[in-house]
Structure 1
């Protein structure tokens, strides 16, 4: 009997220490029955004893439950042990007591809610025990035997166990434990300061229901039910360790709560959101041709600005195409921005060609219209860019070279927006260019302006490239 109990205890400890990676659900209520073989601890040797017990569990928290139980069993010993040398005539006679335990237990389940098919637990409780000694030796000269005893006493159960999921709502319960009573009358034999108790091990079957889908154990904004159906751990607020809790990833940022770098750009999601303000779902937030990680870790450029040095070349083009420095607007320090050099065809890595040779401009004929390449505008803008200024310098040289030359500057737009708006915008663009010439010393009386809006396109308005060409300035010699 003892060897069997020890083997059962050893096996159960192995089970409790095991850990699978399945799914164990939380339930608000469970109920079932247990059958427990007992090994009595008393003055006499143990005989086969048992307690059958029914129980109901109420979940208090994700890791704590209150169990109420009641049962029936027998406490059986044999009287062939004589601790005081007194004579016991009726050897090997059993002493039997019927037991009715009623108890309440606190069950602690440290791993409840984790992804495991096992649910190990510890328990401790308190209860009342009704006992009734029904059989003792017929003949004895021991002064320790008294009349058949019965009554109530208190007892304290404690132990360990595990629940094993058999199906969605059916659990196998394995457990070992001990119960200490406050009486020495269970075998009708009294020794001062000795209390009867027992070791038990058993199995049971439990039926679970009332799954509680309001519990959020890790306080991450996702209920345990939701997490158990997905890949996240209901006991860890930030399953993938990326600096964002699971609820924020799922509900706010739409990132993968089980992958710390959702867009695989080399920056973990938490750093993208909290440090760099980049998009954790987009590899290249500013669409400049460099991944967010490359910008932050390798080139030190701004992952939110496609042109970190404002030289009119995107960071990706500088790094991959032109080999210029995306943090220096004038890589060759030749006094002309990299973007201007690329646009006009000079080498942004060679300072020698930065200042172009100024050729004497031949005056155009009266009535002739020319369009200076590069004097284009952003949509709805009349601002002159630094690239446009470089082109206007050539016209300025001609105006200074021929002081009697007079021109009409006409502004043009694409067809984006209303016609009335575009007419005003084209006039503003023409006036903006005139103001630039006047600021360079040209007499305002030599320049007239007009705006044609979208009426004189030089290319199609169906493409971005065509619309860009249509947003232009034309010069016509009037004298």
Structure 2
């Protein structure tokens, strides 16, 4: 008892500075290891007939104690503060009331339903317990007294205290009143003191917070967030963090603002450079409303339709570069800033075309006409936005049908030659007119020679159609 008193004092000092959890759904199972004391006083026909609690604390005269672990209990939390406890005890009886005995063994198996009053006391370390139950007790192994080798059922009442000093360990002291249903075996007290170990709680994610109290039971987390994680360590738990993998600011729901422009990175098109809210966080150095990364002239203000650059007219033809299809070559407004051949150019083309000769009654071009055709191609290349029309004509010799077909084929031959020379096909058209458009009389050899010709003109109709389709 001397050592037990020291143990109790040390434990109470620990309890005064510790806040812990008792047996509950998080720790549903318990095992208790205790030393028990059995008190048969006042009882027996030769004992004084005092009150039930007379000499209750007379340890030296009446208590029977084995100074070792002599009682083992297993408990299971039921719910709402109730625990079912099953305990087995052994003891050696030396004092049976006022009688001294020897070689008298004590065995008991008891079950009780216990209720914790701890919740009424603000869930602290101090945990009073009351209980009721029943059991089976046997004493024997001695022939010195009439009650030897007797056993009986008991009705038990319990008062106890658990002193919790960790989540899983408590010091327990209790006193059980055991009413015996056999007149030959005395009603008595059984006291016990020892330790209780709690276990069996579920912590699926292993973060030290039981699933019952863990708001994120499948993901390891922190106690301050009820078991939920804060992956980026910014003080905002992941489930409320719009950027859980990158440390951020509370005002941006946990997202960062790297450039400090007041726009969180996920909403900032230029997160590394401070910018304007109207441009989704991008800068506009020249203030023209076009963000720098889309501005071809970021240091010089210009309209958005000109990619942030001021309007220019490099070739001075009165057509702004943004609308000028030939910005480096002076042209006309009607031709979208590109040069357009005038009457003199067309006349020059037709002077060359007069020297284009064909084989007799064929569409094949004679080799000595290639120099004239090359000159025609060179002139056409100077006007990249102009569509030229190649016309084929004949004299009146032969039938109309024959002459019309021959003129078509000769015009097509010239068109094909120019295409091979590099003039795009979409800039050339051709047509044959047979003998329908003479420029001289067909009654003389000289007149018929003039009528057998190729002419080049501008195809205005096709140009208009192409512009309408653009």
Could you say which structure has the larger radius of gyration?
2
- Pick the TM interval, shorter chain: 0.3 to 0.5
TM score, norm. by length of structure 2: 0.43
Structure with more contact order per residue of length (Cα contacts < 8 Å, sep ≥ 6): 1
TM score, norm. by length of structure 1: 0.43
